[in-house]
Structure 1
Amino acid sequence: MPSDDVTYQDLVDRISYSDRYSDDEYEYRHVQLPRQMLKLSASTESSIFFEPDSNVLRLLTEDEWRGIGITQSLGWEHYETHAPEPHILLFRREKDYQKKYGNGMR
């Protein structure tokens, strides 16, 4: 758990969201977690960031990334991990998602 000086909500409040960027197929963004958040998860018995019983990073489901405090509109998927910076999560969604689907899920 965080020290007395830092609460989990303090860590959630420090999550940083990049501007969106795109190619012909997807729009992208990256979400930077406070390093302390990743360290806290890694020190627990069941870290959501790593494959069980290994140091291999894994992709998070929408319920998992929302559960740790990441907030974004619908349609985003965690699509890639980057071992040198595991506290930076890479997301993408279909280009023009909101125009195509509005607030609903496809």
Structure 2
Amino acid sequence: MAGTEGIDITRRNKKPRLLTDAERDQLDEFVDSIHYSSRYNDDHYEYRHVQLPKAMLKKIPKEYFDGGRGTLKLLWEDEWRGLGITQSLGWEHYEVHEPEPHILLFK
């Protein structure tokens, strides 16, 4: 699962931008609606995608977004866990599905 090769770290914040308590409180209502795909794999990695409720994107702080792409940045583990995404250890957010920016891809 883990491995940062192939991840464009320039698409992340320089360091994790943690949520404030007030920001986390605004996101709590969406946590139960986060959808986790089944795991799938290739010869190198195990993958899954995580689908956030579309309305949740409006509550996520602007520092989490890539203004040029109109999608979320690649999130540090502390950031995606702060949003309420719960997965076992070792998952790396490596891409955002640009046609559907509420879908985050993990390996």
Output the TM-score relative to the length of structure 2.
Answer: 0.68
RMSD of aligned Cα (Å): 1.8
**Aligned twin of 2:97:** 82
Unaligned runs of 5+ in 1: 2-6, 93-106
- Structure 2 Cα separation of the partners of residues 8 and 90 of structure 1: 20
RCO higher in 1 or 2 (8 Å CA, sep ≥ 6)?
2
Runs of 4+ residues over 2 Å off in structure 1: 7-10
Q: Which structure is larger by alpha-carbon Rg, 1 or 2?
A: 1
- The residue type equivalent to 1:25 in the other structure is H
Shift of 1:8: 3.1
TM-score normalised over the length of structure 1:
0.69
List runs of 5+ in structure 2 lacking aligned partners. Answer: 1-21
The residue type equivalent to 1:89 in the other structure is L
Aligned residue identity for 1:87:
H
**Seq. identity, %:** 63
* Corresponding position of 1:38: 57
Equivalences, count: 81
Is residue 91 of structure 1 aligned with residue 106 of structure 2?
Answer: yes
Question: Partner residue of 2:77?
Answer: 62
In the alignment, the residues of structure 1 paired with residue 53 and residue 68 of structure 2 have an alpha-carbon distance, to the nearest angstrom, of 19
